[in-house]
Homo-oligomer: A and B are copies of this chain.
């Protein structure tokens, strides 16, 4: 049985870095950056923090890629900012998979420092702190 690693945590906590390290440590693996899947939409793109109807397609795509990868014999590493309901949906969708959920947390100062290291158009500012408190 192939493994599914699901990483979550606030922006700036290091999800991408750690996901890549996990994926590279596996013999056959697929890395799904949730942000990249969300950004597949170009015409009519709506940022994820605004009320929007992009999420059904986002989840269809993430779950399809996870499913295809497991069926083709790959382990999967998936990361995104998830809520309780998202976690439940993933568990329900893959009842037979060996899923490891990993929640990353960090202090407020580090989150803000890391946010400043991003390209200007990717910085989240105080929204990064709001997300940290929600987790």
Contact = CB atoms under 8 A, between A and B. Distances in A.
A31 B43 CA distance: 9
8 contacts: A23-B43, A24-B42, A26-B42, A28-B43, A32-B40, A43-B75, A56-B72, A64-B65
Interface residues of A, number: 30
B41 A74 contact: yes
A69 B30 CA distance: 21
Interface string A48-74: 000000001100110011001101101
A44 interface: yes
B43 A25 contact: yes
A43 B24 contact: yes
